[in-house]
Each structure stands twice: as structure tokens, then as C-alpha cells.
Amino acid sequence: MKEIRAFDPERRGRWSFAFQQAALRRLDKAFTAFFQRVKARQTPGYPRFTGSGHFDTVVFPRDGDGCRWDSTPHDTQTRLRLQGVGHVRVHQHRPVQGRVKTIAVKREGRRWYVILACDEVPAEELPPTDAVIGIDMGTTHFLTASEGEHEPNPRFLGTVAQELAEAQRHLATFPQRTRRRTKAHRAAARKVANVYAKARRKRLDFHHKTARALIRDHDVIAHERLNTAGMTKTAAPKPDPDQDGAFRPNGAAAKAGLNKSILDAGWGQFLVILADKAESAGRRVIPVDPRNTSRTCPPSLGGCGHVAKENRVTQARFQCTACGFTANADHVGASNVLDRAGPALCAAA
């Protein structure tokens, strides 16, 4: 780093040592993850060059190292001091609790955000409710509770689909690869980014509100341990053994639609938010094995416990081939999720 800064004839790195450190930390993180994937015999994915247009976040590892949070208690108008920039006014939407550990400055379109990670945050435990619940994540319903209630799936990308399509068509009229974008080209790209950001903010707000309601009303929440990365993989091609270079239908179009619905629902983000809120409120979240939760006849609902693929008649209908028990398939899945959390609850008792 010293040699690079000494070689800089225009002195552009004079006041940005902390920012250069942030870039090097990101590079180190990328290569560390690359070698971990190689060691685990996964698809390695060698790190690629990322231009400045994709560099939207700078993380400062500790308060005072290139960035300082100047917070005044009970004051919604505070400031952030950035090295080489000075004081920047920040609209603080809630009081900061605990000790500021790391500071991240993030750009989303034309908006800038400050993200604080704090230590020594006091827990705000909620009064006990003696209620337990199991939830089954889905795409038709965002989640179904073991009590039988459904939370509708808002389908946020669907609500902005027309606006997004128009923005993408307009962006497609410009050349994809160009060294310098025109003002109109940059505006078209911002429009697409803003539409995605609108859906992302709505999704995040929905996740926070849904998680808060579950945490407020239940002491224990059980959910499936979902691998969304594996669930949203592209369908593998099926070569045709009778014709060289030909492939058989593999349902790629249907799988792509399902992948889009899963990613739009944002299960992974929701479960992270749920776990964080539970830790702060003194609640417990139990992930369980998701295999055959919607194919097992639920004993807690009066079923026989029989497991068979044929039990799941349709996406919404469950009918046991052994005892004839019939119920909503998502309700069955949520009930089985709660049953599987039983051993963990007994061990903690």
C-alpha cells in the first residue's frame, strides 16, 4: 500500500487510505471465499474485476478509523465524519443503542445510507406468552402457521412488473458495452435500479413487520432449515442419448418461474430477520429438517404419520394414502415442522 501511494503521481490516494483499505479487505474476502470453495470441491468461481460502478458499499472496521459517528442523544439530526470529505448530515430514524463497532456507507441509486453495527446493545425481552408455532414457507402463501392461518404472498416484483418491463425496454435501446455512458443512458439505468429498489424496500418492510408479529405473539417459532441457494439452481440439462448434441425437455422454463417466485419471496432474508429479532426479544427460533414435511401425515392433526410422495395430491391438497386424512398441504407442513421441534424443546426444558 505504501509503494502504491508513493507511486501515485496525481496524489489521488492522499486522503483515502481508509477507502483503499476497504477495497483490499473486499479483495481478500473474495479470494478467501474462492479458496474455501476450491477446498470444498464446489464450483470455485474465480473473482472477477468489478468496476467502480458496482462498488456501492464501503465498510469501516471500527469507529474512528477513517470514519466517525458523531451522534447526539435524542437528536434526529446527527452527522457522520468521513476522512477527506468532512461532516455529512445524516437523518437518524431511531436512537443508536450500544457502542458503535463498524460503520458502512452504502449507495442505492441516488440515495446514500449509513449502516451501524453496535456492541453492548441491551436486550429488550418481551413478556412470555407460553405459545409455540411452526411455520411453513411457500410461494402461494408466504407462510402458513401450524394454527392453520395463511400469510399472503405480496409478490413484490409482480406489483412493479409493468413499470420494470418499460424501464428495461428503454434501457435496451442503448449499447450494452460502452466506455462512457451518455446522460440519457445513465438515467435509463437509474430508472431500472429505482424500480428494483422500490420492490426491495417493500419486501424488507414486509419481512420486518411479519417477523415482529410472530415474535410478539410466540415464545418459540419453528421453521424449515431452507437452502435457498440450492433450491434456486438452474435445471440441469438432459442430453438425448439418441441424438448427438440434442437435449430432452428438462422443465427449465417452469423451474425458472419457480426460482423467480422463491427469490421474490425472500425466505432467506426473512429468516435472518426473524432470528435477529428473536435474539433481541428473548425468544427462541428452531430450524428443523425440511425433508418430507408436506408428505407426512401429521400426528398432531390426527394423522397416522405415513410418509409418501403420493400424499401430496396437488400443491394445496394433502390426502394420506394410508388413512385417508385430508387437509391443506401447507397446514400439514407447518404442523410437521412444529412436531419436529419437539425434541429440541424437551432437551431445553
**What's the pLDDT at 2?**
62
**In a shared domain, residues 51 and 148:** no
Looking at residues 252-256, what average pLDDT do you find?
A: 89
Looking at residues 57-86, what average pLDDT do you find?
A: 78
pTM value is 0.85
Structural domain total, the chain:
2
pLDDT one-digit tens code per residue, 288-301: 999 999 999 999 99
Residue tagged 425468544 (cell numbers): 283
Cell reading at 148: 392453520
CA-based nearest residue to 212, from 149, 281, 264? 281
**Domain-located, residue 325:** no
> pLDDT grade, residue 135 (50/70/90)?
very high
| CA 176 vs CA 7, 139, 181, 186: distances in Å | 34, 33, 10, 12
**Domain-located, residue 337:** no
**Domain-located, residue 302:** no
**Domain-located, residue 21:** yes
- Find the domain containing 239 and state its range: 132-155+210-290
**In a shared domain, residues 136 and 111:** no
Cell reading at 132: 409455540
In our burial notation (b when 16+ CB lie closer than 10 A, e otherwise), range 105-143 reads beeebeeeebebeeeeeeeeebeeeeebbbbbbbbebbb
Distance CA 176, CA 58 (A): 27
**In a shared domain, residues 103 and 228:** no
Angle of CA points 192, 162, 195, to nearest 5°: 25
**Average pLDDT along the chain:** 88
**Domain-located, residue 168:** no
Other beta carbons within 10 angstroms of residue 53's beta carbon come to 9
Q: Which of 274, 290, 306 is the last residue of a domain?
A: 290
Distance CA 224, CA 337 (A): 7
Residue tagged 471500527 (cell numbers): 62
Spell out the residues 6+ positions from residue 1 whose beta carbon is closer than 8 angstroms to its own: 17, 20, 21, 24
